Structure 1
Amino acid sequence: MTSDGDPAPAPSSSAGAYIHTPLPAISRHSTNALWRRGLDRLAQIVITLGGTAVILSIIGIFVFLVKEIAPLFFSPQGTYTGHIAGTPPPGALPQSSLVGMDEYQEIIYQVTAGSDRQIRFYNAQSGVPIALELPPALAQARVTSIARAVGVGNRFGLGTDDGRLIPLTIEFISRFDEGTRHILPTLILGSPVQLTPSKEEIIRLAYQPTEQGTLAAALTNGGRLWYSSTPSTVAPVALTGHGTEPVTAMIFDSRGETLSIGTAGGNLYHYEVREGTKPSLMETLSVAPTGTSVTALSYLIGDRSLAIGTSAGDVSVWMPVRQAQESSTTRLRLIHQFDAHPSPVTVISPSLRDKGFITGDTEGNLFVHYSTSAQTLLKLRGNQQAIRTLTFSPKADGALALTDQGELLTYSILNPHPETTLATLFKPVWYEGYEGPEYVWQSSSGADDFEAKLSLIPLMFGTLKGTLYAMLVAVPLALLGAIYTSMFMHPNLRAKVKPTIEIMAALPTVILGFLAGLWLAPILERVFPAMIAMTVAVPACVAITATLWQYLPALFLRRLRPGMETFVLIPVIIGTVWICLSLNLQIESLLFGSDYKGWFATHWGLKYDQRNALVVGFAMGFAIVPIIFSISEEALSNVPRHLIAGSLALGATRWQTLVKLVLVSASPGIFSALMIGFGRAIGETMIVLMATGNTPIMDWSLFNGFRTLSANIAVEIPEAPHGGTLYRILFLAAVLLFIFTFLINTVAEVIRQRLRTKYSQY
């Protein structure tokens, strides 16, 4: 209402429209803003979750890799698990007891000389004796010495007081009754053999059955040493090479080719008994410190490594090594020295699965050693009772020892990866059969006594070698191609060339590897002399053509579009290559005397393998050219055009502009291209897998193959037992690849940022 009481006039329709019509528009604007904010928030959450998931995935992968690798470096563990009251060995007989067990460690046994019951079996868990009737021939004999055959756990020779040898085999038969395993021991006696002509008592014995017969060496209580070979008709032979030194240990190798005798003077007498008749003394070695004696001898699995224990507590491994490069003569040589015992070593027992062995001493200490790594892995302290004999379990996961008081001590040993240390993975190792420490990768073999060689250095070397040769091929082609395409090629031609090269990156590497191994490698082998000629002829012809191009009439050159010189060089290059290929035999005859392989072998000591580093260089270089080319060309093309125009306007030539301005300004991008190509080559798998011989050797020669970390993973992982040493080392190889690429990318980024900062004024 108005001040005079009249009602207020109603607003006009136009005024009402002016006041109220913006409200719906404002409402729609607010709604759209809310939607945008909501979508922005949702996108932010999704991106954050995605980035977090990627980071967590990488961390998870790394944790998984560490989890698989870490057990390789865990310390072995040994635990004393119990004891059983056995029969005390007679102290007057030096070689009077042996012990053993079945592979499941359910039954243990003791073989004792000088007893009315020479063999006793016990339940390993309860210690309850197991009744087993002895064969009559064994029950009536008086055993005075016992020897275990090398290479087999349960074959023995029993020496008697009348100079006879009685072969004995203990077998364990597994039977299952309603899902329960029952193990039954059985005894098998062989025919007795007379070892000493005068039926003297045998106090020390070495025994070894072979495919040709049985070998034995017997030391009598009269101090005489006899050697016998059956079924030879030759009478036992007296061994006198050791002179008057008391014999303290004897052992044959499992093939029956050598006999080693240790003496109280610390000497080792090494006989050859290959002929099976009269042994011949090959060498005499001093293997113990002055004033100490050899107290224990044992061959490790494979018979090439001889473990020696002394009265000073020293433990060492000796191997036969060739005297000269071209000689077949070998001599025993000290290779590994292990931690010494605090008291004299009494016994050595080898593992039947690997190059490990266990030693015992007069204070009851047990040390576990591994020959390949030259390390003492485990020390089990004793109870001051001398260890008379001991044995590794068949699976090397336990041990059984007999003390001089007649106690049978059982141990559990957890050592799943004894061959793996940082030294065996990354340092040279002296393996059996080698003339010195070397880097070797050989993870498997058909032989049971194989010594695993797991050095990663040859694989790392092969990775760098393949990458280097691929970069030598790819970098000049890709970088020079990018420079020409960016700076000199006509835009219309560039629009066709650049996508074509980038499409090359889509070719599957398995196809490139297949073509390189089955098509390119034989061709290169056949036309290699022509390839040598091409390295000189093609650049020379290109240089001559470019020089002649400068002398063409200016009127003619002005009529050509920029970049047309490419179509002149292509026929020149093709023609030069064709001429070299046509003259391949003549070039080989002129340069290499009609046999380039023989020439390289004679003059440079190089052997040409068909699948070699040269083939991989071409194939893998072809694979990484598109990556380096594309990134480099983009970096060169992104240099501001006004800078290039200014340089040309000031009188600089295109080459001067390229060298002084464009390359400097684009250097961060070019460096990134090179590093990305380098990382791509390091991780390549299929090309190197199919185009090389996959031989893990360390040689920079172009003419032989190599094996990379990635190819090794692809080759070995299908055959690697889950959780085994090889399985975990392959994961370690994957971590090394990750570290390689991480370091390369990190260094590349640091250098790129410095280049970018330095040349930012451009």
Structure 2
Amino acid sequence: MSIKNISAPKIDFNTPAQMRMRKFRALKDKLAAGGIAFGGISVIVAIVLIFFYLLYEVMPLFQSAHVEPWSKNDRAIESYTVPGSGKTLYLSMEEQAEIGIRVSDKGEVIFFNTLNGSVIKSEQINVPVGASITSLSTISDPLHQFAMGFSNGDALIIEHNYTSTYPDGDRVITPTLIYPLGKKPIHIGDKPLKLLGVSHGDEDWNLVGGDETGLTQTKISIDENMMTGEVETSSESEALPQFNINADKLLLLPGRRWLLMASKNTLAVIDLKAEGGAQTTQVVEASKGTITDFQTLLGGNAVLIGDDLGKVSQWFLVRDDVTDWKLTKIREFTGGTQPIVNLSIEHRRKGFASLDTAGTLRLFNTTAERNALTETIIDGAADRIAYAPRSNAMLSEKDGQLSLWAIHNEHPDISWSALWSKVWYEGYEKPEYIWQSSASSNDFEPKYSLVPLAFGTLKAAFYAMLLGTPLAICGAIYTAYFMVPAMRRKVKPFIELMEALPTVILGFLAGLWLAPFMEDKLAGIFVILLFVPIAIVVFGFVWAQVPDRIRFLIPEGWDAALLLPVVILAAMFSLYMADGLESLLFGGDLRLWMSNELDIPFDQRNALVVGIAMGFAVIPTIFSITEDAIFAVPKHLSYGSLALGATPWQTLTRVVLPTASPGIFSALMIGMGRAVGETMIVLMATGNTPIMDMNIFEGMRTLAANIAVEVPESAVGSTHYRILFLAAFVLFMFTFVVNTLAELVRQRLRKKYGSL
């Protein structure tokens, strides 16, 4: 049979089995495509939901305040007649804003229902016979304390207190008056107390009172017998020198050292504890107009001054050198041109309300320098306003009528300047970036600057990338391009396995072992950083000079393994030599030498520790992606380059690396994202202090670590709670923007080198 007669075998591709296989394959392709699409869309949806959830938690921070008449059962409460008689000297409310207190110039103290003005309790002050009330000084709104001065030179300290009981399950609030220094008035001097200032500590009271012709200071000490419980009171009075200031009002600051006197448009500062006796240390022009109100902010350290030009300014004492204190104008709040009638201070925040002659109410926060509300609530000038302790209600009095207002102002202490600009906080010598969200004192001024946290985040990421990037990329280049396959199969999985190590373990080791070790062997660390690279280069040069018969005993490509003992021995030798070098060059203590000679502070848990620990965490990520990108470069490119006469190094730098550059860039961005979002290593390996210093020997606090530390302690819905969500939002947006820019750069690199 001829070959021509032999027919080719026929293959039937349409057999039932083949058709079933194709259908099954098509189904698998569709399922795979659908699953991948669903997974990708789910990731995008999850990211979008996270974005909007964070935004949902953050947005209330920036909402404006609003005020409305207090309502009950959806009906607004009408104004009512002021209970009692006489002129109101003092107006306040208790915690729940259900009971108000009014003190009149006739010595009548009336507790009334804030909804309708009905009298709950009335009590007459023990005014000395033949005397009249000449002054009233608010000691502390949060403590419900005030003092009354009489025309005979006596004074009386009063505190209003409220007790809640629950008979039959209903809350009943019982108001009472307390006399911290007794019901008997305290004699200060022989002159009418037209001016009165009071301040106190735990067991000591200072009262300064008198008129424009002279002032008297009375110091009262309270001693309690620990055995019998008896309380003994002792007092001492002294006449203060003439200050030649026609004062309208006095304020005695906490600490009982500084006395402030307001007169027309000037403010005088008196040092009651100066050497040689009380003396005037400063007289400043506090206003271009006339001072109309003069109050202390929460805590008593800052002073608010309202004038007839519609401006309110904040002042407090600032130390300008080692010993001198100067009353300094910190900021000014301008809302209108009408004269300020009254200022009311918030009981728990650094905020206040102002009311002018046009009946316009303005709500301010001093820290944020924010005007949260401007609204006309009264037709014409009112007499006074009073904040509720929770700042959710306000009483206003005009022409013998009281009105109760509901205040909605949840987060007034947040503004763009408070978050991202320098703020001059009370007690500081200049404006600074500070994060300090809590303190032991109720008078604390929260400091919510995110700048130190953002700085700490970038600082930690910078030092981690500074250490990890060169090691990871150089290791990946050698592993993918120069290393023999047998060795690569062992090295690459080992390095990638490092990524599975929990970061809490790395942080634990860094904080409890690495940080003390580096503190003790700081000089050795620097010697290692210098000597190990030199030892590697020297070994490479020496190895190249070794005769071929010896070098060829090591299989080709495995000679890199000889560097392991070289690195270990070089590190051990560096640590051994470090003590001698430290004694020779730095007096035996490198840390002390840096502090004294270079003025570089050193903390045990610092950025160097974080850089090493977090660099160790990001190396596997950068290494793995970079190694895959270099290894995936088509071999015909490198073979062609070598065939044209290029050296391996030229081929690497001019062909392989440009082609792999999109993958290398992606590795760097992913590694940076890992470093920016790292929590546990930074939390455990640094001092966790929110400071702004690039010093590698000081610590930091990152956004992620701050969230982890403070979220469990913050009250849900509070300003602090939402600020932490804002920090998370900032971190989210930072990583989103960086990754977006990285993808754009990667696409450009891919387009540029994809044609090779």
Residue type at the aligned position of 2:239: V
Q: Does the C-alpha gap of structure 1 residues 577 and 462 become closer, same or farther in structure 2, counting only changes over 3 Å?
A: same
User: What residue is the counterpart of 1:624 in the other structure?
Assistant: 618
Q: Does the C-alpha gap of structure 1 residues 37 and 85 become closer, same or farther in structure 2, counting only changes over 3 Å?
A: same
Larger displacement relative to structure 2 (733-742 or 74-83) = 74-83
Residue type at the aligned position of 2:296: Y
**Partner of residue 104 from structure 1, selected from 88, 96, 106:** 96
1:217 aligns to 2:214 (yes or no)? no
Q: Does the C-alpha gap of structure 1 residues 32 and 646 become closer, same or farther in structure 2, counting only changes over 3 Å?
A: closer
User: What residue is the counterpart of 1:595 in the other structure?
Assistant: 589
Helix, strand or coil: the match of 1:132?
strand
Distance 1:309 1:89 in 2: 28
User: What residue is the counterpart of 1:447 in the other structure?
Assistant: 441
- Counting only pairs closer than 5 Å after superposition, residues 450-529 of structure 1 correspond to structure 2 as 450-529=444-523
User: What residue is the counterpart of 2:147 in the other structure?
Assistant: 157
| Structure 1 residue 127, shift from structure 2 partner | 1.9
Residue type at the aligned position of 1:248: D
User: What residue is the counterpart of 2:253 in the other structure?
Assistant: 253
**Partner of residue 206 from structure 1, selected from 192, 197, 201:** 197
**Partner of residue 56 from structure 2, selected from 67, 73, 80:** 67
Residue type at the aligned position of 1:501: I
1:759 aligns to 2:750 (yes or no)? no
Q: Does the C-alpha gap of structure 1 residues 346 and 562 become closer, same or farther in structure 2, counting only changes over 3 Å?
A: same
Structure (1 or 2) with the larger CA radius of gyration: 1
Distance 2:20 2:555 in 1: 59
Question: Is residue 362–residue 384 contact of structure 1 (8 Å, CA) maintained in 2?
Answer: no
Question: Is residue 143–residue 159 contact of structure 2 (8 Å, CA) maintained in 1?
Answer: no
Question: Is residue 254–residue 301 contact of structure 2 (8 Å, CA) maintained in 1?
Answer: no
| Structure 1 residue 34, shift from structure 2 partner | 6.1
- Counting only pairs closer than 5 Å after superposition, residues 7-22 of structure 1 correspond to structure 2 as none
User: What residue is the counterpart of 2:526 in the other structure?
Assistant: 532
| Structure 1 residue 566, shift from structure 2 partner | 1.8
- Counting only pairs closer than 5 Å after superposition, residues 17-166 of structure 1 correspond to structure 2 as 46-81=35-70, 82-86=78-82, 97-113=89-105, 115=106, 118-134=108-124, 142-150=132-140, 152-166=142-156
User: What residue is the counterpart of 1:388 in the other structure?
Assistant: 383
Distance 2:80 2:255 in 1: 35
- Counting only pairs closer than 5 Å after superposition, residues 146-545 of structure 1 correspond to structure 2 as 146-150=136-140, 152-189=142-179, 190-193=182-185, 195=187, 197-198=189-190, 200-220=191-211, 224-230=214-220, 234-241=236-243, 243=244, 245-264=245-264, 266-274=265-273, 279-289=278-288, 292-324=289-321, 327-403=322-398, 405-545=399-539
Distance 1:433 1:587 in 2: 45
Question: Is residue 219–residue 225 contact of structure 1 (8 Å, CA) maintained in 2?
Answer: yes
- Superposed CA deviations along residues 273-299 of structure 1, whole A, max 9, x for unmatched, are 35899533232222111xx33222222
Residue type at the aligned position of 2:706: N
Question: Is residue 83–residue 118 contact of structure 2 (8 Å, CA) maintained in 1?
Answer: no
Q: Tell me, which stretches of 5 or more residues in structure 2 are unaligned? A: 1-11, 71-77, 222-233
Q: Does the C-alpha gap of structure 1 residues 140 and 101 become closer, same or farther in structure 2, counting only changes over 3 Å?
A: farther
Larger displacement relative to structure 2 (583-592 or 54-63) = 54-63
Question: Is residue 172–residue 186 contact of structure 1 (8 Å, CA) maintained in 2?
Answer: yes
Residue type at the aligned position of 2:332: Q
- Superposed CA deviations along residues 52-72 of structure 1, whole A, max 9, x for unmatched, are 443333322222111101001
| Structure 1 residue 179, shift from structure 2 partner | 1.4
Distance 2:403 2:548 in 1: 101
Q: Does the C-alpha gap of structure 1 residues 52 and 561 become closer, same or farther in structure 2, counting only changes over 3 Å?
A: closer
User: What residue is the counterpart of 2:737 in the other structure?
Assistant: 743
Distance 2:259 2:630 in 1: 75
Question: Is residue 516–residue 615 contact of structure 1 (8 Å, CA) maintained in 2?
Answer: yes
Q: Does the C-alpha gap of structure 1 residues 699 and 337 become closer, same or farther in structure 2, counting only changes over 3 Å?
A: same
Distance 1:408 1:445 in 2: 37
| Structure 1 residue 330, shift from structure 2 partner | 1.9
Q: Does the C-alpha gap of structure 1 residues 499 and 37 become closer, same or farther in structure 2, counting only changes over 3 Å?
A: closer
- Counting only pairs closer than 5 Å after superposition, residues 666-705 of structure 1 correspond to structure 2 as 666-705=660-699
Distance 1:695 1:655 in 2: 46
| Structure 1 residue 515, shift from structure 2 partner | 0.6
Q: Does the C-alpha gap of structure 1 residues 177 and 388 become closer, same or farther in structure 2, counting only changes over 3 Å?
A: same
- Superposed CA deviations along residues 73-112 of structure 1, whole A, max 9, x for unmatched, are 1011122434331169868xxxx61101111011112111
Question: Is residue 229–residue 276 contact of structure 1 (8 Å, CA) maintained in 2?
Answer: no
User: What residue is the counterpart of 1:8 in the other structure?
Assistant: none
Q: Does the C-alpha gap of structure 1 residues 47 and 637 become closer, same or farther in structure 2, counting only changes over 3 Å?
A: closer
Q: Does the C-alpha gap of structure 1 residues 267 and 735 become closer, same or farther in structure 2, counting only changes over 3 Å?
A: same
Helix, strand or coil: the match of 1:165?
strand
Q: Does the C-alpha gap of structure 1 residues 36 and 532 become closer, same or farther in structure 2, counting only changes over 3 Å?
A: closer
Helix, strand or coil: the match of 2:163?
strand
Scaled by the length of structure 2, the TM-score of the pair is 0.90
| Structure 1 residue 408, shift from structure 2 partner | 2.1
- Superposed CA deviations along residues 188-207 of structure 1, whole A, max 9, x for unmatched, are 34344455644x44334323
Question: Is residue 137–residue 147 contact of structure 2 (8 Å, CA) maintained in 1?
Answer: yes
User: What residue is the counterpart of 2:230 in the other structure?
Assistant: none
Distance 2:85 2:532 in 1: 86
Residue type at the aligned position of 1:178: D
Question: Is residue 164–residue 192 contact of structure 1 (8 Å, CA) maintained in 2?
Answer: no
1:665 aligns to 2:659 (yes or no)? yes
Larger displacement relative to structure 2 (344-353 or 205-214) = 205-214
| Structure 1 residue 664, shift from structure 2 partner | 1.6
Larger displacement relative to structure 2 (518-527 or 52-61) = 52-61
Larger displacement relative to structure 2 (53-62 or 424-433) = 53-62
Distance 2:187 2:362 in 1: 35
Residue type at the aligned position of 1:121: F
Distance 1:344 1:223 in 2: 29
1:566 aligns to 2:557 (yes or no)? no
Distance 2:312 2:366 in 1: 11
Residue type at the aligned position of 1:311: D
| Structure 1 residue 630, shift from structure 2 partner | 1.1
Q: Tell me, which stretches of 5 or more residues in structure 1 are unaligned? A: 1-22
Distance 2:581 2:629 in 1: 42
Q: Does the C-alpha gap of structure 1 residues 89 and 223 become closer, same or farther in structure 2, counting only changes over 3 Å?
A: farther
Distance 1:582 1:171 in 2: 71
Distance 1:398 1:735 in 2: 32
Q: Does the C-alpha gap of structure 1 residues 553 and 211 become closer, same or farther in structure 2, counting only changes over 3 Å?
A: closer
Distance 1:691 1:521 in 2: 7
Helix, strand or coil: the match of 1:158?
strand
| Structure 1 residue 695, shift from structure 2 partner | 0.8
Q: What is the RMSD computed on CA atoms of the aligned residues?
A: 2.7
User: What residue is the counterpart of 1:4 in the other structure?
Assistant: none
Question: Is residue 126–residue 184 contact of structure 2 (8 Å, CA) maintained in 1?
Answer: no
| Structure 1 residue 42, shift from structure 2 partner | 5.5
Residue type at the aligned position of 2:725: F
Distance 1:206 1:747 in 2: 61
| Structure 1 residue 384, shift from structure 2 partner | 4.8
